[in-house]
Structure 1
Amino acid sequence: MVELSEWHRGRLIDHVSLVVADYDACRRFYAAVLAVLGVPLVEGDGYFFADELFVSPGEPTTGRAHLAFQARDEDMVRRFHAAALAAGGRDNGAPGPRSYHPGYYAAFVLDPEGNNIEAVTHGPHRRSAPSVVMSDAD
């Protein structure tokens, strides 16, 4: 079991959990795309996680889900898409602007289980912090 004294979290999503049939394929896929996004993948005993994403093997699988990862800029979205395809993902929407709102630039892929995975940037912006950091109380 991995023990951490510090956790990083976003502000909207606490976590997303996927139960997958082909754990090894999903581990390779998420390791590749998360490396591009600069988010470390942490392996546990029979599962892995990265920030708010938790993936484990099992039956029944969770079925098709949509997950959107934050990307720093359009180049990161393009690199995410290329890494996902190289790691066994299937194209579900090439990198490009979307009409959701001005500045929305995204790419979509299907992971090895058929989940719709997106990387998105919302145009030029400044973050108040890279993440919310929670650490052990002293």
Structure 2
Amino acid sequence: MEAQELHRGRLIDHLHLVVRDLAASRRFYEALLEVLGVPIGGAAEDYFWADELFVSTADSDAAQGNLTGRHHLAFQARDRAAVEAFHKAGLAAGGTDNGAPGERPYHPGYYAAFLLDPDGNNIEAVFHGPHQRSSDSIRINFDS
């Protein structure tokens, strides 16, 4: 595997999805990541990765023989147009609509779209609105 830049201070270091059909998952994620401007970082017969996302088959050494369960994974998008392009690309690449692009009630300006990947994971692209800079933090209250 190629060397990667280490980013300290993140809550999530990486995410590993173990999938049934690697080719279908690669088509799906390549389409989404291309729209979001994230290149595939590397690949082999039983895995591929991009940034901190690692996707493999169940028989990959990294997977220990088990498929992962259903997850919700949200990618940041640079603007509303990227959210819309994400949704369109994901549908064309075999994803299932799980929420068309639109504003959500999580906070003002939260614009997102949701797709189910070939394994049923809920994949989101979100733009937090023009009032938010990438260095800003947002606190969301999930207790209500």
Q: CA deviation at 1:51?
A: 1.1
Maintained 8 Å contact 1:16/1:52: yes
Give the TM-score normalised by the residue count of structure 2. Answer: 0.81
Q: CA deviation at 1:18?
A: 0.4
Report % sequence identity.
68
Question: Higher strand fraction: Structure 1 or Structure 2?
Answer: 1
Maintained 8 Å contact 2:2/2:42: no
Trace 1:72-111 onto structure 2 (pairs within 5 A). 72-111=78-117
> How many equivalent residue pairs?
127
* Residue from 108, 111, 115 that aligns with 2:121: 115
Q: Distance in 2 between matches of 1:12 and 1:68?
A: 14
Q: Distance in 2 between matches of 1:9 and 1:17?
A: 18
Maintained 8 Å contact 1:8/1:51: no
Tell me whether 1:126 sits opposite 2:125 in the alignment. no
Q: Distance in 1 between matches of 2:37 and 2:8?
A: 14
Larger relative contact order, structure 1 or 2 (CA cutoff 8 Å, min sep 6): 1
- Alpha-carbon spacing, 1:57–1:5, altered in 2? closer, same or farther (3 Å): closer
What residue in structure 1 maps to residue 18 of structure 2? 19
- Alpha-carbon spacing, 1:41–1:127, altered in 2? closer, same or farther (3 Å): same
Give the partner amino acid of 1:48: F
Moved over 6 A (4+): none
Q: Distance in 2 between matches of 1:14 and 1:109?
A: 23
Give the TM-score normalised by the residue count of structure 1. Answer: 0.85
Unaligned runs of at least 5 residues, structure 1: 129-138
